[in-house]
Amino acid sequence: MPEITISGPDGKFSGYLALPKKTPAPGIVVAQEIFGVNQVMRDVCDWLAEAGYLACCPDIFWRIEPGIQITDKTKAEWDRAFELFMAFDADKGIDDLRATLAHVRGHKACTGTVGAIGFCLGGKLAYLMAARTDADCSVGYYGVGLDELLGEAKSVNKPLLLHIAGKDQFVPKPAQEKIIAALSGRAGITLHSYPAQDHAFARIGGEHFDKAAAETANRRTLDFFKEHLRP
């Protein structure tokens, strides 16, 4: 079944699990956007499963309201998403993602090698996963607030890939420049910039979705996972 229950340090929460056709396989923990474990995140898990990975997206908003699944299509949903974002405790979220990492790593269909990927809020969390957990590698798409977390980079000792949107409305140019200056050239960290793209350019159906840029970023992501998530 796609829905699973994960035990964390503060309680149990749900997650969406997608299995590849061939197992055992490496695993990937998917960190959600601000809209919860919605269809977009489930589709990301299914895409990764099609690529040969065991993919799990946990409900990290469960402490605020379990089971959030909203879209980016209405103002009311955007307003609710930002309320959730403001109420969210990133440190607690990392606790939940760490628990999910352990759950996936111990799954009978997993080889024990597990990476992380995240988008928007999840992109920030993927960066923190690289710094604070034993994930084998991590990928962040247009992570928000990384410029305030650059001190964590010293703890990144596993491969990290970051996709940066050059026209990101939620990550101003000065913040982007600070991130690039601090992380460029660091061993194990790869940065890819997309100068013409806005935030969430890889979200299919989103206002700023760009098919060509998304395909490029996703290809780079899969190549990265293929290199660093070997069985």
Which residues form the catalytic set?
A: 168, 199
Nearest 5°: phi and psi at 29?
-90, 125
CA distances from 198 to 5, 59, 61, 95 (A): 35, 26, 25, 30
Could you tell me the end-to-end alpha-carbon distance of the chain, in angstroms, rounded to an integer?
Answer: 24
Give the span between the Cα atoms of 75 and 123, in whole angstroms.
23
DSSP state of 83: H
Beta strands in the chain, from DSSP E residues, in sequence order: 3-8, 11-18, 25-31, 54-58, 110-119, 138-141, 160-165, 189-194
Residues in contact with 105: Cβ distance below 8 Å, sequence separation at least 6, in sequence order: 27, 112, 114
